[in-house]
Amino acid sequence: MKCHWVSRHQSAALFAVIAAAMLIAWRTETKAQTSAPEKLKAAFFGFELINTSPQLTSDAERRRLVLLEDTLIQILANSGRYQVMALPEALKSKIGQSAKIPDCNGCQITWAREVGADLAVWGTVQKVSNLILNENVFMDDTRSGSRYFAQSVDIRGNTDESWVRGMRYLLQHYLVERR
């Protein structure tokens, strides 16, 4: 039986080839894992205005709710991590006949599951006065039923600009940059 010995130079070359192959395989695997994570599907149910101020809710405030909804949808979509799903008309009708989300004992999670969403997204704006308002965004995980995200921001001033600026701040600084 003959023994084949490998020289030190051959050993070093063989080690370098194996190390390079392992590095390439690791980089390829890491790149595949980080390249394009699947977007979370979000069913968005809009914002509810909770007016505890002595003033009646104005048409301008109703329009601002729509501005907030558009802002939230745009920021979620632009983040690259969320896909906001369209709600079917039948579900919208069902929602319109139901209790408001803060009072429905988790109905938003059931509705989001009906459309195959990963998250149920909704929000509130509490108007304390024309000077003091509070914006809240909630995201519930439909698989576990637990809260995925909840954040609030206080705003000063009852204007289009203050409402949208508050929502952008809330989403950018607490959701997009931290999750």
Encode pLDDT of 88-133 as tens digits: 999 999 999 998 998 899 999 999 999 999 999 999 999 999 999 9
Quick one: 131 and 116 in the same domain?
yes
| Domain carrying residue 71 | 40-176
Quick one: 123 and 59 in the same domain?
yes
178/78: higher pLDDT = 78
- Give the least confident one: 17-31, 64-78, 89-103: 17-31
Supply the CATH number for residue 130's domain: 3.40.50.10070
Quick one: 70 and 29 in the same domain?
no
Q: Answer whether residue 27 shows pLDDT above 70.
A: no
Q: Among 120, 113, 115, which Cα is nearest to 150's?
A: 120
* pLDDT the model gives residue 42: 98
How many other C-beta atoms can be found within 10 angstroms of the C-beta atom of residue 86?
Answer: 10
Q: What is the count of structural domains for the chain?
A: 2
Quick one: 6 and 77 in the same domain?
no
* pLDDT the model gives residue 29: 54
Quick one: 158 and 95 in the same domain?
yes
Quick one: 10 and 91 in the same domain?
no
* pLDDT the model gives residue 8: 59
Quick one: 69 and 19 in the same domain?
no
* pLDDT the model gives residue 1: 53
**pLDDT above 90 as % of the chain:** 76
Quick one: 18 and 49 in the same domain?
no
